[in-house]
Structure 1
């Protein structure tokens, strides 16, 4: 009986040993799977970074430094924009806010405009990915050169006001970054050299005064006919990335889609999602 008992004990020990070996093997396999999972996760994260690096820029506007003189001047673009805006030849912002009401030629004389490509001409692939062309008249705004340079650099932004029932005109709110507010607005030549300060009358009344960008902050302007809402969105998103205090257009998408039905399509919605820059 003792022999049988010992044999049974040996068999049980062997079975226990075999089970422990299997458990150890399973643990090793599990550890290996965890390592593989971690490795795959790192690869996914790396691929995602590559996608963000190479794909996202195709759908985003990027700032243009103020000291960059464009080599891609389109000689016909100004005339195209001027015609689109009914023959206007003055800055759409300063002309409305600081021109004497009784002077018809004051704005074009003292606030001369250049045709600003809302989406820069050199970034034409971004515009095409959003369904329009940088050469479209609706990709233009008429701005004083100094204002245009700041807009291109993302130091100021133009945000659509809430749509008012019964009003077809587009109202844009001017927002100025904190660092720019105390800067004097100046005339700029073709080489981007600045000289005399710009002067104007508050609401077209009172004494002339030197204008600072602070004087534009929070002001509302009317734009008729409206430019591409997609272009305005892209430019505002860029400005928000540059200066977080400026409104993030991704948080007020409805103000754009109400005026641009094409922004409600599946493709545009995916692009809007890819352009989200977080709460602000």
Structure 2
């Protein structure tokens, strides 16, 4: 046995190769679909039992028929496009304000002392509480809805980012500073990578809260979008179309999470070794 072999074995043990995570594996998709299949089966069983009138509790088949009809007529796609545009604009605006402010408050004590009381006061006010002012300032329409989404997205992103900055271990900063790194290098190579997991959590929560405010805002402050479609269907007792709007929101969220948010997480936090996914341990 050569002298090189032990070293090779030790290095292999110390740094095992990580399996590449793929979100397109059939096994993962089958696991994700199973709860939905069980849920639809329970839904169908309750509908067949005639516990509630059909007008109040539509069957999966009625919802599927309404979904196909609204898709063919283009109503669902038009409302979905309006809602997604409002969500994207509100989310981007909320992040553009929250992320710089979060780093400013987290890295500068005077800024944190100045903004912290105001932020703590405003975070207790739900985004939907801003609807009256949104209508007064922007009128009925997309502007009011976008403003409501901004107020809902801003605080989850800001507070998760602040939490991530507070969790950065001082020993890491001191170790980099002993190597001659300045403040900019510390922020770039230590603080920013360390805050990415919390920032991604804040972004996910921000989008989720943005969806909720989107629906509520469109019900009251808009004349189009998925929220308005749900509210309008309720006025005419079209329960199947109410479920169609609700499912459209949920499906869009799942697609965004699977195709956009998780790949971003893989390419940032997991790639840099900050967190590890359960699939790597299988």
| TM, length-normalised to structure 1 | 0.23
| TM-score relative to the length of structure 2 | 0.23
Structure with greater proportional strand content: 1
Structure showing greater relative contact order (alpha-carbon pairs closer than 8 Å, 6 or more residues apart): 2
Q: Which has the larger radius of gyration?
A: 1
